[in-house]
Amino acid sequence: MQIFTISDERVLTICEMSETTTGKDQQWLERLQSGDQEVLVLLYKNNHTMIRSYVLKNQGRNEDAEDLLQDALIVLWQKVQQENFVLSSKLSTYIMAVCKNLWLKRLGKQQRLEGEDKILPHLHVTADNFSEISDFKHLQKAMDEIGETCKKLLMMFYFDGNDMEQIARKMQFANADTAKAKKYQCFKKLETLIKSRFNKSDFIG
């Protein structure tokens, strides 16, 4: 009877090395890359038990597990949108690893969207302190007013982290230059709206 002891971290590393993506994972990745958010719900459902168990075991509660998994799936979403993203493990293993990183950061009272999980590394504003810097309703209204195409384009650029070529492909623009020009227009439109809606002290530096 073989006895062995492995720390959680080592197990995770080994899993990442030894596991490979399954056909189903690949399908889900492709759906994520094409912008299908429903896959996130499926992944949430499939991984909830595992993440919940981990969080409960590590000083967390049910609510923490839900929140953590949602954040991890958002990170996955953003990562998948990047051209150079390569999944070298099972999706569930990847999600577990992201959850672990996020949870360890939270336990260490570190900000959630730091380091490699952050799409916009030079930004000092995160979703966590979003409500402190502006009124969500104002922004939502401004985002609605710039139109669906602009909203989608800006979110693809600033939130998903897509480059202009990807945006052009996904939004069926002629080429990256067209996407760039459109993005510029949308940005200016949003900037004008925001300047007119938000207090200067709150927003414009």
Partner 1 sequence: MSEMDPHIELIDRYIRGELSGLELQAFLTKLQSEPAFKAQVEQQEKIAALVYAFGHAQMKQYLRQKTRHRGVFSLSNKTKYYAAASVLLIAFSTAIILWKINPEAGNKMPLTAKGDTLSAEKKEVITMAKEQARGNDNGDTSKNTEVIAQNAENNLPPAIEELNDDEFTASAESPEPIVIASNIQAVAISLNSPVMSQKSMKEETAEMKPARKFKTEAEVAKPTTSRIDDNKYVTENGGTGYKMPETSRTKKQVLRFSFTFLESIEKTPAVEIDKYNDIYFVRCFNIVYGNPLVYEWQNRYFLHSGIKTYELKNLPLQNGQKTPVSAAQEVTDPAILSLIGR
What residues line the site for partner 1 (CB under 8 A)? 1-6, 11-12, 14-15, 17-19, 37, 40-41, 44-45, 48-50, 52-54, 56-57, 62, 66, 70-71, 73-74, 77, 119-127, 130, 133-134, 136, 139-140, 143, 154-155, 157-161, 177, 180-181, 184, 187, 190-191, 194, 203-205
Q: Between 1 and 86, name the residue whose CB sits nearer to partner 1.
A: 1
Smallest gap from residue 69 Cβ to partner 1 (A): 8
Distance in angstroms (rounded) separating the CA atoms of residues 78 and 73: 9
Smallest gap from residue 55 Cβ to partner 1 (A): 11
Distance in angstroms (rounded) separating the CA atoms of residues 180 and 186: 10
Smallest gap from residue 24 Cβ to partner 1 (A): 14
CB-based contact 146:186 (threshold 8 Å): yes
Smallest gap from residue 88 Cβ to partner 1 (A): 14
Q: Between 5 and 196, name the residue whose CB sits nearer to partner 1.
A: 5
Return the closest-CA partner of residue 102 out of 84, 130, 135, 128.
Answer: 128
Distance in angstroms (rounded) separating the CA atoms of residues 155 and 79: 14
Return the closest-CA partner of residue 159 out of 125, 133, 189.
Answer: 125
